[in-house]
A and B are shown apart, each in its own frame.
Chain A
């Protein structure tokens, strides 16, 4: 390929007995955006980490700008011109943006840090990408999208020729994703290579010039985006056909399970009222920051609310008490599974059994075997892929981790299942399984409340869509009337549809 920037060939990498990479390849040309796709566990992150200098390959070659890439040293990887933008950037919160951009290599004049030069260079880079941020402000309080922008600018300040974005859009709203794409295109226009990793296929087909699909550590396909469609990509990724993305079964809608009345938390959300019935899947849609997660946190009692009531099956829940919510039959699969959903270093069995310990005690003694039994049972029902039930959950792939969180809560036999971004950052195959599971639970008579930023998911799964904007419930849309346009209009335009 002419103008080849990066070429990875025949990459192999083993961790213990696990082949993380088994014949991976990747080609990137200057001025090209390549979508790197694959299910969780396909080896994308290992490949990215190798390019970031964190791992060395066991076998295979990496050529960057015609020269062999020297592996295994993050600093040298940057100096060779590779920069990686992670999903959750790690800026220094108390340093200014300019200092963050130049951290560790501040420009100096005569031994002293050239502050003015640093700020003006940062400003110049911001302007070049159309980023509206003050280089003097601290990084603390920046949205994730803006933090990523700063990371991108950091990459430009070292004149990186290849910029890898590892699932940058997972936590971004639609508007922020659009801005990110604009910036990615500018990088491309400047003649840099971009590798864009995302689980959102529509983004990839919109933004990228070509896609490289990985499965089980190997590259299974590379194609120009113009020549393929998403069905083909999905087939490559999973190695099989996914017939139905959103399995939605007809469930009998019964009595009211959750009734929220006038729920208010000052400055966060106001006067939220809605019901969820048995057998129903109700989606809470809206932009990131509209207050959806905050509402479900208040329902579950993680946060206190200032006024209003939450009732489950007719009785009012105590304000700010997750254990009261749990005993009333509420389950919450939280937004951040690593931080809120799971005990990462603990065993799968410990994680699943954590919510049901009270009924596992036999003859005064809580024994590991009863935890393992209940965990194995649920792992089987959810088709969890694991080696040993006592392995730490951090060893599982993202999709399987999410199944552990679901298992942990389904084990409590809840009446109301709240799921916050249930399929964020998990692969297509598992995503379909999670959707099927939610549908099945609704048929079994559960009330399901789903917070989701994934519009196709909202439209595919929900019986009703509630839309929040700026802390208020602004629309309720029946399944029949719910379209991308109607939901987005309500979520973004004030005065519409209320």
Chain B
């Protein structure tokens, strides 16, 4: 228990981790192909873009912002990688250009949100279309697929004699980095604080807009990195790639216990949620379902992650437990992502008298 709490796992994310273990066990029992090295290699490769973007997206949603343009940024970065490689025949230059493109996409989003004070939802719906449009302008209808083999092989070749694809290096590196950022630094505490009360954060000397801007840039950068992995994995830069990935990322982040209203969430929950999504997809594929059924999985995850905490808190109310946070049985920052709490008809009502009497 103590060890778990050191990892900052709380009720909801512990449930997701458990669900991941159950999914893997169930998968191993129901299909002998599931727990093979090849399939696990495939599952990890398959989730790598989503996971890379989910890391910063978790932080962004914790501060009560959102970025819907990530899939378009990913594809734009991919397009720039393809074009730059064609022009220079240098992959390192193409990679740098791709990452810069992603970061720039994030910077534009962040500046529009923080400098003009626009809602991130509205801004990134706009740039979702804008960045995607730019991909078509840059590439036309012609995907670029003349990428060097020694790079494209990296995307799914295993490391040495293991089954792990090389992208695991990126996942582990950035997973650790974002875990540290969220749970081990002042910056992470600031993110929670901004999500829990933006005004109080400003009054605590937290540079709120700078934090938000930085998170948008990080998200853009990670979308660019995901764009690189995507380009190499499919050995092609095409303008219609990664369609709908933004919703998968957001569904997974919410499923991982990050509250859509901000201020709550852990990195472990998010990582486990993405893996549950990937494993269930693989299971469905192995069971012979087609691609459309796979889309349904992410839709269901999203609904489940929004509905269940609501149902739980409603149930608690009916049972007469007056739970302080719509159901937060344990310590730490995470509680269930709850929407409605006990109804306070007046904003003043919450302040006095109740609680410690």
Contacts and interface: CB of A to CB of B under 8 A. Distances in A.
Interface string A386-418: 100010101111101100000010000000000
Contact of A90 (B190, B335, B346): B346
Given A44-B353, A86-B347, A344-B197, 8 more contacts: A18-B357, A167-B348, A322-B202, A322-B204, A323-B205, A325-B205, A355-B204, A357-B189
Contacts of A339: 197, 199-200
A216 B352 contact: no
Interface string B308-350: 0000000000000110110010011101000000010111111
B52 to A, nearest CB: 24
Given A343-B197, A357-B189, A397-B353, A332 B203 contact: yes
A346 B357 contact: no
B115 interface: no
B200 A342 contact: yes
B354 interface: yes
B114 interface: no
Contacts of B321: 16
Interface string B182-194: 0011101110110
B261 to A, nearest CB: 10
Contacts of B263: 343, 345-346
Interface in B154-205: 180, 184-186, 188-190, 192-193, 196-197, 199-205
B356 A90 contact: no
Interface residues of B, number: 44
Interface residues on A, range: 35 or more
B309 to A, nearest CB: 14
Given A43-B353, A45-B349, A344-B197, A366 B203 contact: no
Contact of A350 (B180, B189, B328, B353): B189
A44 B207 CA distance: 39
Interface in A309-354: 322-323, 325-326, 332, 334, 338-347, 350, 353-354
A45 B353 contact: yes
Interface in B275-324: 321-322, 324
Contacts of A493: none
B117 interface: no
B354 to A, nearest CB: 6
9 contacts: A45-B353, A86-B349, A322-B205, A326-B205, A343-B263, A354-B189, A355-B204, A368-B332, A394-B355
A358 B196 CA distance: 20
A472 interface: no
Given A365-B184, A400-B356, A52 B345 contact: yes
Given A325-B205, A366-B189, A338 B324 contact: no
A216 B345 CA distance: 24
B346 A86 contact: yes
Interface in A12-47: 15-16, 18-20, 40-46
Given A87-B346, A346-B192, A346-B193, A16 B322 contact: yes
Nearest to B338: A345
Contacts of A74: 345
B196 A396 contact: no
A166 B348 contact: yes
Nearest to A15: B322
A397 B332 contact: no
Contact of A20 (B186, B206, B324, B357): B357
